[in-house]
Amino acid sequence: MNPVFLSQSMERSAAIALLCQYVHDDGLQKHCLATGAVMRALVARLGEDAELWETIGILHDIDFELIHGDMQLHGAKGAEILEEQGIDPDLAGIVQRHNHTLFSGTYDRPVEIALQAADSVSGLVIACALVKGGRLSDVTVKTVTKKAKEKSFAAGCDRSRIALVAPILALPDFYAVAIGGLMGIRKELDLT
């Protein structure tokens, strides 16, 4: 495979193909696509490179099946895979550092903050859609705000990681961005 330098932008289809080489679980693939969609939607508000941020979101959990739950390896193995593919080490480092169990409290770059928030909010919004019969189109900012307050709802979606986005964008606005981003790929997520 020819190396693809992320800093020069990577087509979405190439990022998905690379993800699918390492991630075979349909649910995890959808999570990665959803994170990428939220990243892409958020970047529209920040004037950054949409393809770049979406690709980071798509590839952020590329190592998850390989590490077999060892969170000491998560991210580091992903960065190694990406660097082997010729991806810019700085950007592979963003994937490595997204492991909040190892790097929590050290995020100051907008892309790192966005990845933390997108990683968790994507699951929260999708969970909201699932309780509405898979109708993402019925999910509103009010729905997400209400469900986010219920700690037992989508318990794996870390609210503190979502809250990291506050210096970049107010939480209700971020929820709107996340919903909009996911609406753009709802068919890929098997939602309506």
Tell me the domain boundaries of the chain.
6-183
> Percent of the chain, pLDDT > 70?
95
Q: Based on C-alpha coordinates, what's the Rg of the chain?
A: 15
pTM over 0.85: yes
Residue 1: pLDDT over 50:
no
3 state SS for 77-118: HHHHHHHHCCCCHHHHHHHHHCCHHHHCCCCCCHHHHHHHHH
Distance CA 171, CA 128 (A): 16
Residue 5: pLDDT over 60:
no
83-142, pLDDT tens digit by residue? 999 998 988 999 999 999 999 888 999 999 999 999 999 999 999 999 999 999 999 999
Q: In this structure, what token pair is assigned to residue 80?
A: 């190694």
Identity at 47, one-letter amino acid code: G
Q: What is the mean pLDDT of the chain?
A: 94
Which is nearest to 58 in space by CA: 44, 46, 87?
A: 87
**CATH level 3 topology of 6-183:** Hypothetical protein af1432 (1.10.3210)
